[in-house]
């Protein structure tokens, strides 16, 4: 089965192509230049694998949380390919894929993405169980959960080191370890999670889109204007 997976939810582009004969993955830190990098990277992977877009049988994309712009680029690009060539598309939560890359770790895994405005997109899993669901928070948000863990907690994701430093500054007694291999390429995890989802639940509905657990700046600005108008009446 020929499968293409891509993640554009952070500043790093993760992409992988699995075919019946080959496997290749790429990690491109283009500082959110996904609109320029994604399609050329796909073309290059296909060329080296000796196949064409029409030969793909499944597309997998991360659906967030993450960068609003990045998620829209990834979802729109993969949906466009899927629609044009009638290829099934499956989306996978970004933080689930990040945790999957480190699932060999025996303790709790805290996945983090810098969400700016002094906040992070966070989730924590342990032994396959979700301890903290996808959340928009900070170090204080997770502190009560971390204090319950007796074994070291692995912090992973593209901003693992930054968040680990914030936890240590808040409470040095919390046993946290920054993933030494972060940021990892999550496209291989997307392949595994996406293929399992496709086999058990089928392809996404046509109307399914990115998951935003925070309102965009435009939405917040609009709400502020509406409130100001109401207060001015």
Nearest CA to 42 out of 72, 98, 80 is that of: 80
Q: Are residues 59 and 115 in the same domain?
A: no
Quick check: 82 pLDDT over 90?
A: yes
Q: Judge whether 223 lies within some domain.
A: no
DSSP string, 132-170: EEEEEE-HHHHHHHHTT-SSPEEEESTTHHHHHHHHHHH
Bridge partners (DSSP) of residue 17 are 4, 24
Q: Are residues 14 and 75 in the same domain?
A: yes
Q: Are residues 125 and 194 in the same domain?
A: no
- Judging by DSSP bridges, how do beta strands 153-156 and 176-178 pair with one another? parallel
Q: Are residues 87 and 8 in the same domain?
A: yes
CB-based contacts of 50, cutoff 8 Å, min separation 6: 21, 22
3-state secondary structure of 124: strand
Q: Are residues 23 and 51 in the same domain?
A: yes
Ranges 3-17, 140-154, 173-187, 212-226: which has the least confidence: 212-226
Q: Are residues 160 and 201 in the same domain?
A: no
Q: Judge whether 196 lies within some domain.
A: yes
> What digits encode the pLDDT tens for the residues 178-222?
999 999 999 999 999 999 999 999 999 988 889 888 765 554 444
Q: Are residues 42 and 149 in the same domain?
A: no
Q: What does the pLDDT average to over 49-60?
A: 97
Give pLDDT, residue 219. 45
Quick check: 174 pLDDT over 50?
A: yes
Give pLDDT, residue 229. 64
> With bands split at pLDDT 50, 70 and 90, how would you rate the model's confidence at 29?
confident
Contact of 156 with 98, CB cutoff 8 Å: yes
In whole angstroms, give the CA distance from residue 43 to residue 99: 28
> What digits encode the pLDDT tens for the residues 89-107?
999 999 999 999 999 999 9
| Largest pairwise CA distance in the chain | 67
Task: Count the domains in the chain.
Answer: 2
Note down the domain range covering 151. 102-178
Q: Judge whether 227 lies within some domain.
A: no
Domain harbouring 124, CATH code: 3.30.420
Give pLDDT, residue 15. 96
In whole angstroms, give the CA distance from residue 32 to residue 142: 27
Q: Judge whether 135 lies within some domain.
A: yes
């Amino acid at each position: 089965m020929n499968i293409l997976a891509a993640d554009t939810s952070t500043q790093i582009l993760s992409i992988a192509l699995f075919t019946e004969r080959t496997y290749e993955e790429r990690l491109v830190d283009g500082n959110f230049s996904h609109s320029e990098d994604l399609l050329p990277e796909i073309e290059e992977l296909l060329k080296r694998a000796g196949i064409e877009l029409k030969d793909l049988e499944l597309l997998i994309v991360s659906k967030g949380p993450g960068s609003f712009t990045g998620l829209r680029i990834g979802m729109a690009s993969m949906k466009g390919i899927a629609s044009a060539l009638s290829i099934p598309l499956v989306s996978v939560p970004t933080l689930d894929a990040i945790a999957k890359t480190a699932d060999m770790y025996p303790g709790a895994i805290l996945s983090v993405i810098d969400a700016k405005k002094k906040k992070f997109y966070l989730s924590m899993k342990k032994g396959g169980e979700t301890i903290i669901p996808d959340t928009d928070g900070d170090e204080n948000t997770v502190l009560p959960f971390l204090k319950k863990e007796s074994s070291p907690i692995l912090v992973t994701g593209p901003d693992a080191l930054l968040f680990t430093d914030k936890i240590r500054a808040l409470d040095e007694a919390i046993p946290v370890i920054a993933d030494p291999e972060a940021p990892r390429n999550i496209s291989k995890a997307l392949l595994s999670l996406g293929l399992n989802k496709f086999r058990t639940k089928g392809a996404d509905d046509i109307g399914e889109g990115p998951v935003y657990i925070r309102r965009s700046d435009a939405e917040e600005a609009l709400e502020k204007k509406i409130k100001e108008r109401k207060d001015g009446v």
